[in-house]
Amino acid sequence: MLLTRPRWSGWLSVLAGCLWLASAHAAHPPASSIPASNLVEPSVLAQTLSDARAPHPLVLQVGSRVLYAQAHIAGAEYVGAAGTDEGLAALRARVASVPKDAPIVLYCGCCPWSHCPNIAEAFAELRGKGYMHVQALHIDNDFGTNWVDQGYPTAKGE
């Protein structure tokens, strides 16, 4: 089921929270630190997920719980804001039983790529733990613009 874009006031409060988190955690690596070879574009991931014959990666949302509840990639799991110690701990716990060679896609989408306080932290954490096939979903603007508005499959709720 395709969801319509949530009301702007909800997205604006998520963006404000993301920008606050980014400023509060300025020491975090920027999203641009993720190598281009480890990025996946929304259209490519949507196509992969829609192919019932193709193996699907584990898709983890590493950003805002509010954003996840409003709309998230169908089949994705919420882990926690990777820009926080609690979020990184939740990420480590979630992947503890996942084989190191399993495909994993991380995404946030709370704010523009250049301001994201979560995605590079999550990527670096998993790569540092030896996960070999980690990709970051390149969300240039925000999840609403780059996924929901494009008509890619979403789900709603916790």
Tell whether domain 8-155 is in CATH 3.40.250.10: yes
Q: CA triplet 78, 79, 84: central angle to 5 degrees?
A: 130
Segments of 21-96 assigned E as strands: 39-40, 58-61, 72-73, 77-78
pLDDT of 22 > 80? The answer is no
Band (pLDDT 50/70/90 cuts) for residue 28 is confident
For the range 86-94, what are the long-range contacts, defined as Cβ-Cβ under 8 Å and sequence gap of 24 or more? 87/62, 87/118, 87/121, 87/122, 88/121, 88/122, 88/125, 91/60, 91/62, 91/122, 91/125, 91/126, 92/125, 92/129, 94/60
pLDDT, tens digit (0-9, with 9 covering 90-100), for 41-96: 999 999 999 999 989 999 999 999 999 999 999 999 999 999 999 999 999 999 99
pLDDT of 153 > 90? The answer is yes
pLDDT of 24 > 50? The answer is no
The domain spans of the chain are 8-155
Model pLDDT, residue 3:
45
Q: Which residues pair with 137 in a beta bridge?
A: 40
Model pLDDT, residue 157:
84
The model carries a pTM of 0.83
Top-confidence residue, 63 or 28: 63
pLDDT, tens digit (0-9, with 9 covering 90-100), for 98-114: 999 999 999 999 889 99
